[in-house]
Amino acid sequence: MKIFIASDHAAFAAKEELKAYLAAKLGFECFDEGCFSPERASYSDLATKVALRVQNREGLGLLLCGSGIGVSMVANRYRNVRAALCRTSEEAKLSREHNDANILCVGARISSVESIKQMVDVWLTTAFEGGRHSERIATFNNLGAVGKVNPEKLATPEYWILGAVIAAVLFGTILAQYNRTYFETVYTLEDGWLEYGGVWALGLLLVLCLKRIKDLWRVRTWTFRLGLIILALLFLFGAGEEISWGQRIFGNESPAYFANNNTQGETSFHNLVIGGVKINKLIFGTGLTIGVIFYFLVLPIVYRRKETIRKFVDNFGIPIPKKWHLLAYIIVVLLAYASGSHKKGELMEFAGVWIFFCLYFFPVNKSIFEK
């Protein structure tokens, strides 16, 4: 049987002891949903993770916080979740026999670890009696204020942004068919609105990343902070490359190395040619394509199916794309190739950055970025 366990910082030590205790019991598989350190953590976010697992019928749940009250309040907001706050083994027994509780909530500041272990033992080995109790449970089982939370659902801003992005690419594709010259010399012009639109998206992503670093620095692990720093540097690098690090804005001349080895004679790395090899084609073409396929297609699948991968991804603060983000990207790629122009990359680059903008603001695992 699968047991999903979580606690806030106040019950972290008790959770760790209880987790080790459960791991030694035969027939039970324990999955830790957090928190993963004694640093301050939100009990509402952690209780939600377990409640969703139980709501999806993946197993039973154990929730701990200082009093047990907060986690029980959150968990019981979800339909088909029956979280029981217990102080004694008798209460734990009755919660299973009469109420068919699927989450046990306890308070680490109220009950000792030994007492919690006893309650867990009784709770896990007591069966639901059914009968008249089933009829009573049926009257309230679907009254939860929060239905099944769909992490794939698009937020309202995403509808507008993704819609506008696809519309811009669609217009470009149509324009390329009827006025190829205008499309290639104006619509996808170097330093034109498409390029600077992408720069704005990267700039906003950098600002958001820096804000998350500031807000979460004291309440997240070093791995999470490292992940945020790496993302911030990637956004900064992307924005800098798009505008050639301000060269054309400020009118600076390219250093000799870039002037001689850059296909456009500008200060940027992605247009460099080293040893006859075009960096743009090798890294930003082939390499980026492989990365995008893995990120949009492979990672979301293994994230949902593999506990170790999910924990690794969340610990490093890696945002997971929704299925809608993948669909939008596929539509953009198909439209761009339908343009038949060698400038199709400009369309995909612009759209891809804004899709990632939506993805980073509203990922599947959005709760990991909440303070």
Tell me the per-residue pLDDT of 274-316, one tens digit each, with 9 for 90 and over.
Answer: 766 666 665 666 777 788 889 999 999 998 888 788 888 988 9
| Closest to 13 in 3D by CA, of 45, 36, 30, 46 | 36
Of residues 324 and 250, more confidently modeled: 324
Q: Which two tokens stand for residue 227?
A: 């992940």
Domain ranges of the chain: 2-138, 156-369
| Closest to 297 in 3D by CA, of 334, 323, 275, 271 | 323
pLDDT at position 289, please? 78
Q: Is 64 helix (H, G, I), strand (E, B) or coil?
A: strand
**How much of the chain exceeds pLDDT 90, in percent?**
53
- Degrees to nearest 5, angle at CA 310 with 201 and 78: 90
Task: List the single range of 220-229, 235-244, 295-304 with lowest mean pLDDT.
Answer: 235-244
Cα 212 → chain centroid = 14
pLDDT at position 329, please? 93
Q: Is a pLDDT exceeding 90 seen at residue 80?
A: no
| pLDDT digit string, tens, across residues 35-61 | 988 888 889 989 999 998 888 888 899
Q: Judge if pTM exceeds 0.85.
A: no
Question: What mean pLDDT is predicted for residues 123-142?
Answer: 82
Instruction: Provide the Cα torsion 291, 36, 369, 63; round to 10°.
Output: 120
| Closest to 348 in 3D by CA, of 195, 186, 240, 236 | 195
How would CATH label the architecture of 2-138?
3-Layer(aba) Sandwich (3.40)
How many residues does this entry show for the chain?
371
Q: Is a pLDDT exceeding 70 seen at residue 271?
A: no
Distances (CA, A) of 41 to 34, 36, 299, 365: 9, 9, 26, 16
pLDDT at position 305, please? 82
Of residues 370 and 285, more confidently modeled: 370
Instruction: Look up tokens 């050639």; give the residue.
Output: 244
> Which helix (H) or strand (E) covers residue 323, if one does?
helix 323-338
Instruction: Provide the Cα torsion 202, 203, 207, 208; round to 10°.
Output: -30
Of residues 97 and 216, more confidently modeled: 97
CA separation for the pair 282, 353 (Å, rounded): 20
Question: What mean pLDDT is predicted for residues 340-358?
Answer: 92
Are β-strands 83-85 and 273-274 bridged in parallel, bridged antiparallel, or unpaired? unpaired
Q: Which residues are catalytic?
A: 65, 98
CA separation for the pair 48, 149 (Å, rounded): 10
CA separation for the pair 219, 114 (Å, rounded): 29
Confidence of residue 238 (pLDDT cuts 50, 70, 90): confident
Q: Is a pLDDT exceeding 90 seen at residue 148?
A: no
Q: CB–CB of 263/271 below 8 Å?
A: yes
User: How many helices and strands in the chain, by DSSP H and E?
Assistant: 18, 7
Q: What are the contacts of 150-158 at 24+ separation with CB within 8 A?
A: 151/322, 151/364, 151/365, 151/366, 152/322, 152/323, 152/324, 152/364, 154/322, 154/324, 154/362, 155/361, 155/362, 157/358, 157/361, 157/362, 158/324, 158/358, 158/361, 158/362
CA separation for the pair 90, 95 (Å, rounded): 9
Query: SS3 sequence, 231-289?
Result: HHHHHHHHHHHHCHHHHHHHCCCCCHHHHHHECCCCCCCCCEEECCEEHHHHHHHHHHH
Question: What mean pLDDT is predicted for residues 219-230?
Answer: 89
